[in-house]
C-alpha cells in the first residue's frame, strides 16, 4: 500500500479516536419526514418505498426514493438562495461548514416578544461573558423554539400556517448580521426557527446580507440547550448538490466531555489554529 495512504489512515484514526475520548456528540438535527417544517408552497418530503423485504434465502434488502424541497426541516441556505453569482451548494468550501460554536441564548427576550430579533447588545453581552467571537465561527440563536417542532401552527406561531403574512417567530436583526460579517468573519449564521429573518419579514434583509457575503445560513436547528455557549465544535453536513440553492442538513456539535476518568491532552480549542 502507498505510504501516503498509510499516513492518511493513521492520521484519520488518531483524529477520530481523540474525538471519541474527548468529546460527546450532540445531534442538532430534526428528523426529516413528511411532517418536516417548510414554507408554504415548498414541496413536502415524500418517501416512496421501492423495496423492503426478504432478499435471497435469509437476507434483507431495502431501497427507497424520496422527493423534497431543499429548504425543509433542519437545512442550509446556500448563498445563491438570495444572491445571483454567490456560492451554490456544491461550491461551498468544506472549511466554511465547520467552526467554533457560538450559542446566543435569547429565551428571556423571546418569552414576551415572539418577533424578537437578536440585537447587537446580545452579542456584546455574549462577548463580555465568553470573550471575542473567534473568526470562522458558527453563530446560532437559541430561542428555545425547537420544542415547538414539528407542529406547523406552533413553529410559525399562527393559526393559518399557509399564510406567510401571519407568521410570528424570532430571528436575527439585520444590523447584528452585518456586524458579525464585517467584524467577526463568521462562517455560518443560524437559528432554531424557520428563517434567518423574523416571522413578519417580507424583504428578508438578513438573508440578503448573508448571501451577498457568501455566509452559509442554517435554519430549524435542534437541541441547542445541549451545547455550551462557547467552545463546541460544530459540523454542518450537507448534500453536495450541483447548482443547489440549499440542502437538507445533518448538523453535529462536539462538546468537551464533562468528566474524564484519566488524564488526556484534550482541548476544546484544538481546532482554533485552523482559523
The CATH number of the domain holding residue 39 is 3.50.30.50
- Residue 35 and residue 49: Cα distance in Å, rounded? 17
Contact 99, 188 (CB under 8 A): yes
Q: Is the pLDDT of residue 8 over 80?
A: no
Residue 17, domain member (yes or no): no
| Mean pLDDT, residues 165-183 | 99
| Cell of residue 37, nine digits | 417544517
Q: Whole-number mean pLDDT of the chain? A: 92
Within a domain: residue 10?
A: no
Residue 12 lies in a domain: no
**For residue 2, is pLDDT > 70?**
no
Write out pLDDT tens, residues 209-252: 999 999 999 999 999 999 999 999 999 999 999 999 999 999 99
Span of 47-51, 89-93, 268-272 with lowest mean pLDDT: 268-272
Tally of domains in the chain: 1
Domain-located, residue 252: yes
Residue 229 lies in a domain: yes
User: Alpha-carbon distance 270 to 265, whole Å?
Assistant: 10
For residue 180, the surrounding DSSP H or E stretch is helix 174-184
Task: Decide if pLDDT at 253 tops 70.
Answer: yes
Percent pLDDT > 70 in the chain is 86
* In a domain? residue 6: no
Residue 173 has pLDDT above 60, yes or no: yes
Please give the sequence-ordered ranges of beta strands (E in DSSP) within 20-97, or none if there are none: 23-27, 46-55, 59-67, 75-77
Amino acid at each position: 500500500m502507498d505510504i501516503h495512504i498509510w499516513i492518511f489512515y493513521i492520521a484519520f484514526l488518531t483524529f477520530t479516536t481523540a474525538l471519541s475520548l474527548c468529546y460527546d456528540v450532540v445531534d442538532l438535527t430534526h428528523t426529516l419526514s413528511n411532517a418536516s417544517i417548510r414554507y408554504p408552497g415548498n414541496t413536502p418530503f415524500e418517501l416512496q418505498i421501492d423495496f423492503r423485504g426478504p432478499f435471497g434465502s435469509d437476507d434483507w434488502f431495502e431501497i427507497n426514493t424520496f422527493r423534497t424541497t431543499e429548504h425543509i426541516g433542519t437545512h442550509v441556505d446556500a448563498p445563491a438562495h438570495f444572491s445571483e453569482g454567490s456560492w451554490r451548494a456544491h461550491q461551498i468550501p468544506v472549511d466554511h461548514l465547520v467552526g467554533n460554536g457560538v450559542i446566543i441564548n435569547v429565551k428571556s427576550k423571546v418569552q414576551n416578544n415572539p418577533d424578537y430579533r437578536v440585537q447587537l447588545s446580545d452579542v456584546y453581552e455574549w462577548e463580555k461573558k465568553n470573550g471575542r467571537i473567534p473568526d470562522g465561527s458558527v453563530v446560532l440563536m437559541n430561542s428555545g423554539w425547537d420544542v415547538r417542532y414539528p407542529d406547523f401552527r406552533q413553529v410559525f406561531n399562527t393559526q393559518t400556517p399557509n399564510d406567510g403574512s401571519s407568521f410570528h417567530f424570532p430571528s436575527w436583526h439585520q444590523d447584528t448580521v452585518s456586524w458579525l460579517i464585517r467584524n467577526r468573519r463568521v462562517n455560518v449564521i443560524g437559528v432554531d426557527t424557520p428563517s434567518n429573518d423574523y416571522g413578519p419579514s417580507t424583504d428578508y434583509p438578513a438573508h440578503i446580507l448573508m448571501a451577498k457575503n457568501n455566509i452559509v445560513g442554517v435554519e430549524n436547528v435542534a437541541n441547542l440547550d445541549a451545547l455550551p455557549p462557547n467552545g463546541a465544535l460544530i459540523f454542518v453536513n450537507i448534500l453536495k448538490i450541483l447548482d443547489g440553492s440549499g440542502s437538507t442538513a445533518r448538523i453535529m456539535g462536539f462538546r468537551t466531555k464533562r468528566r474524564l476518568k484519566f488524564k488526556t491532552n484534550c482541548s476544546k480549542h484544538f481546532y482554533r489554529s485552523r482559523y
